[in-house]
């Protein structure tokens, strides 16, 4: 933290690519440079033992996309500053600065192995599918596709009741995690069916490629992404080891993930917190071999997930597979200048998230492509403004013969 | 707060009052730290600005306009009793007319965004300060920013045809216009260029645009002495070649780029020269060779030519990032790199640099030197620790000396960063040196005529 904020020269380059600055009405504290300045303030006040003002929204609003890192001439990562600042806040026990939703998510995940307590429902998509028993690979959905129908409705409810009441409710749930059961009854059933379909298409693509894999069903835990991102590092360490132990029980060392958040967390973060981490992590498209079909000339635009092109910058498999299948283009802001869909802010700052996703959606739509293709359930929900957004598994499956 | 209600009435939701939310506005890219402003206004319309200025004028509240917040002299930070006026939402490129060679843009448009748009039609807006990614049209007009391409195209003042400005009393005025020539009384546009927001708020700019050179190439030459670099540029220019850019870097800067960007340089080189030639597709190779021959005649340690766009972009970005790369060679994390900016006659640059380097040695401070050699612009980057009184005293003494050297070699205490807070006393030195205290009086009278209550960016340029 000292290093990150100490190296900043306040040049403001990071602000130019930060996806939250514009949606926040250009208020600097919700932009990348502002976060480094606030991080410095947090560090100074904490070091001197002074009370920290209500500063945390600056850090919680960061989408963790890390676009700032790629333009910083001094190599400062404002995303990392946000992450470390959240860690300082959560470890100091500063409840005033701790976000109630963050606390709720963490407490519920610890109790139920799922941020909304719907672990047992998250295997519903697999009804009727026969999985292999002991197999070379384990399909690990990470619950992400299954959670989205709940978060969407939860946000609609939040908007209706206002932030004060919803924060109060989040605090209550954080103190009594079992209350989450009341909230978790709300889900968007249409989206649920759509996302179930996506997971089934992933299975279809893997099977066509001759991959043998098992699935944990209701025992599958959420990977703990929120716990890590929200700065609860000690809790995350414990939770990651718990997830690891369950994955190990399957007997497979090769783990197939289906979303970029889980993929990147397991691949890059778990090894830092789990001793002797020995699992091989794949994104399902690593293993998919599309049958030889005629390449379509249909123009689609691929929205690259931050966790692939910014957090794990050498990973380009989805674009490669898509380009082999059809005429895939990128929006003006792409590669290491891609713009986040705004999704990670959906639970804590829904209005900001909505504005950020609209900006990205317009950029993608302006390419004139017939479809917007996503490779992440969060991006998919946030960019589904019209009926032109498709998850990559669904698009690829639609191109299969028969 | 006393003014909150009235400001809310003027700005609606486009105002920030929360003390925590205001914190990032206390700084810009300089080492100065401002005071908490009364409010931060982020208006969307000219009418909001008009009403805001009229209110501030009536209530003697000071106003600092803020663009990209990239000032290196503290020009964009608030002092006591200030409102910060952020122009971030004035970020539209309104029109581009290549046939008439102008574009109409709002002041919050970032320079790189404007050039990205112009690149679609093979045009450029030439001013390109190293901060162009974040710097805005309004901010760069207000500091008369230069940059690398100033070697060929001059600084911002050459590229502004007209402005729409809100005056401190809330009236809106248009200066100049969209045409390339105009002879109609005093050049009021020029008054606002380099005024650092002390006269009014720019709300629209008519900027001149120009076709992009058809072909460019880059020569990298390394020398063991600054005299050879100076002579190289002199000889190139004397035969009628105007480099598109001509940059020099000293050894400390090269070492920092090696550390920060993994670049490699000849071990024995003391200075690096980056020289771009602009030409046509037919003649670029001949022009590059002709220029390279002049550089070779001075016995470089190494010389190479590239036309590879990726390689050229890599070097260009490295040069633009030279200042921040210096952080990698700091002795401690509390140390700052304070960037000096002066200009001398290009032909006198080697002599000036020798004096500057000797002074750094005498004071026992580390100073990295780079700059725009074609127009005599020196950036002397001083490594200083704000927590150590002696270190800052030496920094101040060095800056003062740098200014003196600039004046004695036919130049100015500020080349392209403006005056802000940092160089107010150096500006007085300059007026004394040129025996032109009258110029200062006239500046004050102009300020008083336009801003009788002195609300616009008080405490910047002069007291």
Domain boundaries, chain B: 4-88, 93-211, 215-325, 331-446
Structure tokens at B45: 């319309």
Shared fold status for B215-325 and B331-446 = yes
Distance from C-alpha of B414 to C-alpha of B377, rounded to nearest angstrom: 9
Mean pLDDT split into 10-residue runs, chain B, 463 residues: 89 95 96 95 98 97 97 96 98 98 98 97 96 97 95 96 98 95 94 98 98 96 91 92 94 90 90 96 96 96 94 85 84 85 92 92 94 92 90 93 96 96 95 93 96 97 93
Distance from C-alpha of A8 to C-alpha of A79, rounded to nearest angstrom: 13
Collect all residues with Cβ–Cβ distance below 8 Å to A271 and sequence separation of at least 6: A277
Is B335 an 8 Å CB contact of chain A? Answer: no
Other beta carbons less than 10 A from residue B397's beta carbon: 14
CATH hierarchy code of domain B215-325: 3.30.70.2190
Distance from C-alpha of A281 to C-alpha of B286, rounded to nearest angstrom: 55
At A118 the pLDDT is 76
Rg from Cα positions in chain A:
21
At A179 the pLDDT is 66
Which residues of chain B make contact with A34, given a CB cutoff of 8 A? 23-24
Is A27 an 8 Å CB contact of chain B? Answer: yes
Q: What is the pLDDT of residues A159-178, one digit of tens each?
A: 776 766 777 777 777 677 67
At B401 the pLDDT is 95
At A49 the pLDDT is 85
Quick one: which of A258, A250, A272 has its CA closest to A375?
A258
Positions of chain A with pLDDT under 70: 161, 163-164, 174, 177, 179, 182-185, 402
Distance from C-alpha of B296 to C-alpha of B277, rounded to nearest angstrom: 16
* Residue ranges of B 79-118 with Cβ closer than 8 A to chain A: 86, 88-89, 110, 112
Domains of chain A: 2-97 (1.10.1060.10), 101-287 (no CATH), 299-398 (3.40.50)
At B259 the pLDDT is 86
Collect all residues with Cβ–Cβ distance below 8 Å to B14 and sequence separation of at least 6: A25, B41, B42, B43, B44, B48, B89
Nearest-5° Cα angle at A337, A333 to A339: 65
At B456 the pLDDT is 98
Cβ–Cβ gap A28/B24 under 8 Å: yes
Min distance A320 CA to chain B CA atoms (Å): 23
Cβ–Cβ gap B21/A33 under 8 Å: no
CATH number 3.40.50.1100 is the correct assignment for the domain at B4-88? no
DSSP letter at A265 equals I
* Residue ranges of B 359-418 with Cβ closer than 8 A to chain A: none
CATH classification (class only), B93-211: alpha beta
Query: What's the length of chain A?
Result: 402
Is A334 an 8 Å CB contact of chain B? Answer: no
Q: Which pTM was predicted?
A: 0.92
Quick one: which of A105, A148, A358, A65 has its CA closest to A239?
A105
- Name residue, tokens 């299975």: A203
**E strands, B241-287, where?**
245-250, 271-279
Interface pTM (ipTM) of the complex?
A: 0.94
Q: What is the pLDDT of residues A2-15, one digit of tens each?
A: 888 988 889 999 99
At B386 the pLDDT is 83
Considering Cα of A149, then A150, then A151, then A154, what sign does the dihedral take?
positive
Domain at B331-446: CATH architecture = 2-Layer Sandwich (3.30)
Other beta carbons less than 10 A from residue B171's beta carbon: 12
* Residue ranges of A 72-101 with Cβ closer than 8 A to chain B: 72-75
At A183 the pLDDT is 67
Helix (H, G, I), strand (E, B) or coil at A127: coil
- Name residue, tokens 């400062």: A76
| Cα–Cα separations (whole angstroms), residue B161 to B141, B174, B205 | 11, 11, 8
Q: Are B428 and B438 in contact (CB under 8 A)?
A: no
Q: Are A10 and B29 in contact (CB under 8 A)?
A: yes
Q: Are A342 and A349 in contact (CB under 8 A)?
A: no
DSSP letter at A268 equals I
């Amino acid at each position: 933290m000292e290093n990150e904020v100490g190296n900043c020269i306040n040049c403001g380059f990071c602000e130019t690519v930060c996806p939250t600055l514009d949606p926040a009405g250009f208020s600097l504290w919700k932009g990348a440079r502002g976060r480094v300045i606030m991080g410095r303030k947090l560090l100074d006040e904490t070091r001197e033992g002074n009370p920290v003002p209500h500063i945390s929204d600056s850090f919680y609003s960061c989408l963790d996309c890390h676009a700032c890192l790629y333009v910083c001439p001094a190599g400062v990562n404002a995303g990392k500053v946000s992450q470390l600042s959240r860690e300082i806040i959560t470890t100091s026990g500063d409840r005033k600065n701790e976000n109630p939703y963050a606390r709720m998510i963490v407490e519920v995940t610890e109790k139920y192995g799922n941020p909304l307590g719907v672990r047992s429902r998250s295997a519903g998509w697999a009804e009727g599918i026969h999985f292999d028993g002991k197999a070379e690979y384990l399909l690990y959905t990470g619950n992400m596709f299954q959670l989205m129908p709940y978060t969407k409705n939860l946000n609609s409810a939040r908007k209706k009741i206002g932030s004060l009441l919803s924060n109060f409710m989040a605090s209550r749930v954080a103190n009594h995690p079992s209350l989450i059961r009341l909230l978790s009854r709300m889900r968007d059933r249409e989206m649920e069916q759509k996302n179930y379909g996506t997971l089934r298409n992933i299975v279809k693509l893997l099977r066509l490629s001759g991959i043998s894999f098992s699935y944990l069903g209701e025992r599958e835990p959420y990977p703990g992404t929120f716990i890590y991102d929200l700065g609860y590092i000690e809790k995350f360490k414990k939770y990651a080891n718990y997830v690891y132990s369950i994955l190990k029980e399957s007997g497979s060392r090769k783990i197939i993930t289906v979303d970029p958040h889980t993929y990147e967390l397991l691949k890059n973060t778990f090894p830092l917190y789990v001793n002797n981490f020995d699992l091989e992590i794949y994104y399902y498209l690593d293993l998919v071999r599309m049958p030889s079909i005629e390449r379509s000339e249909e123009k689609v635009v691929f929205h690259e997930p931050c966790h692939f092109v910014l957090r794990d910058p050498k990973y380009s498999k989805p674009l490669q597979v898509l380009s082999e299948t059809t005429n895939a283009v990128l929006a003006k802001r792409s590669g290491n200048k891609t713009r986040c869909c705004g999704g990670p802010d959906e639970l804590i700052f829904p209005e900001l998230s909505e504005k950020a996703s609209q900006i990205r959606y317009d950029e993608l739509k302006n390419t004139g492509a017939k479809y917007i293709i996503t490779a992440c359930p969060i991006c998919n929900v946030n960019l589904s403004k019209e009926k032109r957004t498709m998850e990559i598994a669904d698009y690829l499956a639609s191109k299969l013969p028969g | 707060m006393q003014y909150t209600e009235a400001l809310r009435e003027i700005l609606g939701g486009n105002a920030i009052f929360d003390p925590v939310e205001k914190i990032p506005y206390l700084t810009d890219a300089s080492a100065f730290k401002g005071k908490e402003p009364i409010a931060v206004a982020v208006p969307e319309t000219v009418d909001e600005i008009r009403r805001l200025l009229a209110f501030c004028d009536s209530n003697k509240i000071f106003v600092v306009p803020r663009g990209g917040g990239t000032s290196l002299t503290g020009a964009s930070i608030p002092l006591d009793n200030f409102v910060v006026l952020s122009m971030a939402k004035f970020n539209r490129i309104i029109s581009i007319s290549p046939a008439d060679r102008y574009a109409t843009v709002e002041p919050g448009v970032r320079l790189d965004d404007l050039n990205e748009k112009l690149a679609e039609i093979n045009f450029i807006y030439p001013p390109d300060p190293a901060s162009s990614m974040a710097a805005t049209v309004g901010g760069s007009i207000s500091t008369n920013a230069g940059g690398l391409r100033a070697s060929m195209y001059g600084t911002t003042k050459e590229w502004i045809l007209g402005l729409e400005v809100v005056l401190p009393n809330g009236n809106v005025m248009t200066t100049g216009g969209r045409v390339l020539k105009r002879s109609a009384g005093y050049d009021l546009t020029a008054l606002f260029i380099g005024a650092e927001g002390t006269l009014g708020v720019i709300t629209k700019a008519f900027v001149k645009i120009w076709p992009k050179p058809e072909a460019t190439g880059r020569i990298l030459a390394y020398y063991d002495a600054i005299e050879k670099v100076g002579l190289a540029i002199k000889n190139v220019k004397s035969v009628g070649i105007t480099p598109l850019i001509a940059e020099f870097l000293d050894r400390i800067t090269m070492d920092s780029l090696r550390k920060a960007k993994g670049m490699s340089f000849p071990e024995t080189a003391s200075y690096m020269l980056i020289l771009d030639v602009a030409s046509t597709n037919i003649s670029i190779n001949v022009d590059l060779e002709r220029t390279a021959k002049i550089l070779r005649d001075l016995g470089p340690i190494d010389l190479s030519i590239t036309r590879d766009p990726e390689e050229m972009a890599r070097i260009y970005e490295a040069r633009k990032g030279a200042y921040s790369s210096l952080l990698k060679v700091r002795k401690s994390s509390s140390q700052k790199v304070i960037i000096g900016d002066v200009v001398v006659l290009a032909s006198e640059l080697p002599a000036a640099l020798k004096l500057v380097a000797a002074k750094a040695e005498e004071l026992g401070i580390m100073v990295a030197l780079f700059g725009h050699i074609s127009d005599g612009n020196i950036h002397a980057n001083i490594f200083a620790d704000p927590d150590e009184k002696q270190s800052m005293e030496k920094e101040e003494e060095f800056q003062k000396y740098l200014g003196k050297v600039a004046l004695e070699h036919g130049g100015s205490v500020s080349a392209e960063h403006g005056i802000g807070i940092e160089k107010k006393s150096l500006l007085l030195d300059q007026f004394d040196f040129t025996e032109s205290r009258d110029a200062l009086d006239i500046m004050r009278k102009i300020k008083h005529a336009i801003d009788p209550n002195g609300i616009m960016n008080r405490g910047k340029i002069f007291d």
